[in-house]
């Protein structure tokens, strides 16, 4: 009996070791490529891609096992969540959006192709009057322009296809939302759980640090850093991630505080498990549902923050996010309204979908919580 238990444990340990080794090797490889990229060969990937790969690896190593370990709990909450129709609607919309981001570009034209002869085309089914300057006669002529099926959503003032821009912007907005939230959640969880579990001085220092971070006005800090170091999507993602973890840390800490003294934690401590092991396999799995809810509810804020940055002229000029399209279209809302309306509606629906989903999950998890 005890022997069998021991052998299972040693197998688990071995598997763990292999996993760890694979993870470390992958990380080392990634960092080497990054260094090579920076110092020797230029631009294998851009900075953001490295960030994505790193986050992906972290997710595979820690996220999937965690989700798997707490599958019963998640299943239970899931059953409760799908009762909420708005949440299900939100989820379906988000899944469609992800699908659009990945396969959409295959069906649309090049979103960066400029064509001044086809500028300001209205969406299909609309007709507008536009005054056009003709150099031959040096005169303005008013002509009627009708939308074409080639550009179902119309074109912007550079003749770029709006549908294609919206589709490529989907990927950008989702990336920003998911990855910035990813960074913030990881940081917040680690800091919150460590503070709760380790207690004492560590708790004190971590929470004082959180206090200081919290007193900085978030958007002011974001604008400040992006202004100083120049608008760049990777920077924007990282800064939102690095500044947005404070709320998560506090919530996770207070949630884990009660777990710290529970029997199963005490038991594994008595059995000699390491702090790291207890945090990873006992504490975090028990707050995972809370983490999922916080993550879902943070994404819309992040997407809107990126759009707001674009609006005040601090968006990454090399990336056509919804915010950037919206900003460009905003100036001509009275004439070529569709350029601002299309990304505005997409932004609105996406944020709404995440909010509904998050709200549904929260309700399922604990209807009385105030996240």
Can you give the binding site for another protein, defined by CB under 8 A? 83, 85-86, 114, 116, 119, 130-131, 133-135, 138, 140, 142, 157-158, 208, 211-212, 214-217, 219-220, 223-225, 227-231, 300, 304, 307-308, 311-313, 317-318, 326, 328, 330-336, 340, 344, 347-349, 351-352, 355-356, 359, 367-370
Question: What is the DSSP code string of 128-143?
Answer: EEEEEEETTTTEEEEE
- Give the CA angle between residues 344, 349, 355 to the nearest 5°: 125
Shortest distance (Å) from residue 206 CB to another protein: 14
Q: Which is nearer to another protein, 199 or 217 (CB)?
A: 217
260, 196 Cβ separation under 8 angstroms:
yes
Shortest distance (Å) from residue 145 CB to another protein: 13
Shortest distance (Å) from residue 105 CB to another protein: 20
Q: Give, in order, the Cα–Cα distances in Å from 97 to each of 89, 131, 163, 236, 309.
A: 12, 37, 14, 22, 22
Q: Which is nearer to another protein, 78 or 348 (CB)?
A: 348
Q: Which is nearer to another protein, 70 or 181 (CB)?
A: 181
Whole-angstrom Cα distance, residue 218 to residue 241?
11
Shortest distance (Å) from residue 167 CB to another protein: 19
Shortest distance (Å) from residue 146 CB to another protein: 18
347, 77 Cβ separation under 8 angstroms:
no
Shortest distance (Å) from residue 237 CB to another protein: 18
Q: Which is nearer to another protein, 71 or 134 (CB)?
A: 134
As to burial, measured by CB atoms within 10 angstroms (0-12 exposed, 13-18 middle, 19+ buried), residue 210 is buried
Q: Which is nearer to another protein, 156 or 282 (CB)?
A: 156
Q: Which is nearer to another protein, 193 or 346 (CB)?
A: 346
Point out which residues pair with 133 in neighbouring strands.
140
210, 251 Cβ separation under 8 angstroms:
no
Q: Which is nearer to another protein, 20 or 335 (CB)?
A: 335
Cβ contacts of 33 within 8 Å, gap of 6 or more: 44, 45, 50
Shortest distance (Å) from residue 228 CB to another protein: 4
Shortest distance (Å) from residue 249 CB to another protein: 16
Q: How many CA atoms lie within 13 A of 249 on its CB side?
A: 24
Q: Which is nearer to another protein, 68 or 227 (CB)?
A: 227
Note the maximum CA span of the chain: 97
Query: What values do phi and psi take at 265, rounded to 5?
Result: -70, -45
């Amino acid at each position: 009996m005890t022997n069998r238990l021991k052998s299972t444990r040693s197998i688990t340990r071995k598997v763990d070791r292999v996993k760890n080794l694979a993870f470390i090797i992958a990380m080392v490889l990634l960092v080497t490529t990054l260094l090579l990229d920076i110092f020797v060969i230029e631009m294998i990937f851009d900075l953001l891609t490295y960030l994505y790969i790193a986050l992906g690896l972290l997710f595979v190593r820690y996220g999937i096992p965690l989700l798997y370990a707490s599958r019963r709990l998640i299943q239970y909450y899931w059953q409760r969540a799908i009762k909420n129709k708005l949440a299900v609607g939100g989820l379906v919309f988000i899944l469609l959006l992800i699908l659009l981001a990945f396969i959409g570009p295959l069906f649309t034209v090049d979103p960066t192709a400029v064509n001044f002869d086809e500028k300001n085309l209205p969406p299909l089914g609309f007709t507008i009057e536009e005054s056009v300057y003709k150099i031959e006669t040096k005169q303005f002529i008013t002509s009627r322009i009708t939308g074409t099926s080639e550009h179902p959503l119309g074109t912007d003032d550079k003749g770029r296809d709006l549908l294609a821009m919206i589709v490529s912007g989907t990927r950008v907005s989702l990336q920003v939302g998911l990855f910035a939230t990813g960074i913030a959640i990881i940081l917040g969880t680690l800091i919150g759980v460590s503070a709760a579990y380790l207690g004492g001085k560590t708790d004190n220092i971590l929470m004082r640090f959180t206090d200081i971070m919290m007193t900085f006005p978030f958007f002011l800090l974001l604008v400040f850093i992006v202004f100083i170091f120049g608008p760049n999507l990777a920077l924007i993602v990282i800064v939102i991630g690095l500044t947005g973890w404070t709320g998560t840390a506090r919530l996770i800490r207070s949630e884990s505080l009660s777990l710290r003294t529970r029997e199963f934690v005490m038991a594994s401590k008595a059995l000699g498990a390491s702090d790291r092991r207890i945090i990873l396999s006992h504490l975090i799995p028990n707050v995972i549902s809370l983490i999922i809810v916080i993550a879902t509810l943070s994404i819309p804020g992040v997407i809107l923050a990126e759009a707001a940055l674009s609006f005040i002229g601090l968006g990454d000029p090399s990336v056509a996010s919804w915010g950037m399209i919206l900003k460009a279209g905003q100036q001509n809302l009275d004439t070529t309204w569709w350029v601002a309306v299309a990304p505005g509606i997409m932004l609105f629906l996406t944020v709404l979908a995440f909010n509904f989903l998050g709200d549904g999950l929260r309700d399922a998890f604990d209807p009385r919580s105030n996240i």
